[in-house]
Amino acid sequence: MRLVLALSSLFLTSATMACAQDPFAGNPRGRLDVRIELSGRNRVDLPNGVEWAAIDARRTLEIAFAVVDVGNDGLPIVSASKADAALPPAMEDLKAKIDACGEDQQCLARTMMEFAKTGSGNPFLQMTGQQPGRYSNFAADRAGTCASGTLVVEDVLSGVNISPPEPARAYRFTRNGSLTLPKDDFNLMDAVCSAEVTLDRQTGHMSLRLPAAKLAVPVTLGPGAFTDERAVPLIESKQTIELFDQPAGRDGAWTGVAEVAAAGSASHNSGQVAAPLKARVTWAFSEE
């Protein structure tokens, strides 16, 4: 299983590299519309009993992803299942016999022939857990504009600060900004275009892996600000937002809404205070 998943990962990584040639020419395409609404607040009182800092964060991500079917329909690329899940007893027995053969090709051939006589099916598919035709795997389409949309930051920052020799003073200011995609920034677009989707044709469920890290939004600080940041991450301490086995929407449409209790964080004053973020994710997927 580790080998199969590693090869699948390598295949997807290679496919996402920017190049003039489309590695998935002729494959089905689709569109994934996502809206993520983030919110969180927190206050930290400093040990001196005078200073404190608070953040009230509101952020949104609204993106239309162009996606392409990357193949490998026997395994999901987005899944909550562990890669090293236990094998059925018959497969454990076969694996033990194969391991015992080592490099002895005659032993391996004899072992496989004996297994075939049991009528237990294709051992490769069973040992890797593959179910051909069950899944459709889509990833952001790097052959064109993989994502377009807007990221928005709307924060209110407040507290009491001491900057010697000045006395303690209260403050309250806004930190607002937005980012419109696409941008001529390889690193940014590489981070944005990491979206992946798996459709389970058997259960009608959908799993999503959405970008969260390295999405810096330019900001403007309101009157009274004493910090000087020019950009902030949309989400901190989170690499991706993952949603597994989400049921299809009404009439079998690939749509849905989900609440995420732990969706990263937002901070203020170099991490002096950080607010855990919760998220409401809305999505709609359509195949072309």
Of 62, 96, 129, which one is at a domain's C-terminal end? 129
- Nearest-angstrom CA–CA distance, 19 and 14: 10
pLDDT (tens digit per residue) in 9-45: 434 444 444 444 788 888 999 999 999 999 999 999 9
147 is written with which tokens?
């994502």
Whether 172 is in a domain gets the answer: yes
Containing 188, the helix (H) or strand (E) segment is: helix 186-192
Residues 6+ apart with CB under 8 A from 28: 68, 69, 136, 287, 288
Residues 144 and 228 reside in one and the same domain:
yes
Three-point CA angle 86, 77, 35, nearest 5°: 130
Whether 9 is in a domain gets the answer: no
Whether 177 is in a domain gets the answer: yes
Question: Smallest Cα–Cα separation from 275: which of 157, 173, 165, 186?
Answer: 157
Please state whether 121 falls in left (phi above 0), alpha (psi between -120 and 50) or beta: left
pTM of the predicted protein model: 0.79
pLDDT (tens digit per residue) in 138-162: 999 999 999 999 999 999 999 999 9
Whether 18 is in a domain gets the answer: no
Helix (H, G, I), strand (E, B) or coil at 17: coil
Torsion of CA 251, 253, 258, 264, to 10 degrees: 180
Residues 6+ apart with CB under 8 A from 134: 73, 74, 200, 201, 202
Residues 210 and 123 reside in one and the same domain:
no
Domain span at residue 241 reads: 28-75+134-287
pLDDT tens for the chain, 288 residues: list them: 433 433 344 344 444 444 447 888 889 999 999 999 999 999 999 999 999 999 999 999 999 999 999 988 888 999 987 554 555 666 677 778 778 888 777 787 787 777 667 766 555 555 556 788 899 999 999 999 999 999 999 999 999 999 899 999 999 999 999 999 999 999 999 999 999 999 999 999 999 999 999 999 999 999 999 899 999 999 999 999 999 999 987 677 899 999 999 999 999 988 899 999 999 999 999 998
Residues 138 and 182 reside in one and the same domain:
yes
Whether 240 is in a domain gets the answer: yes
Residues 173 and 215 reside in one and the same domain:
yes
Residues 45 and 83 reside in one and the same domain:
no
Residues 183 and 123 reside in one and the same domain:
no
Residues 100 and 188 reside in one and the same domain:
no
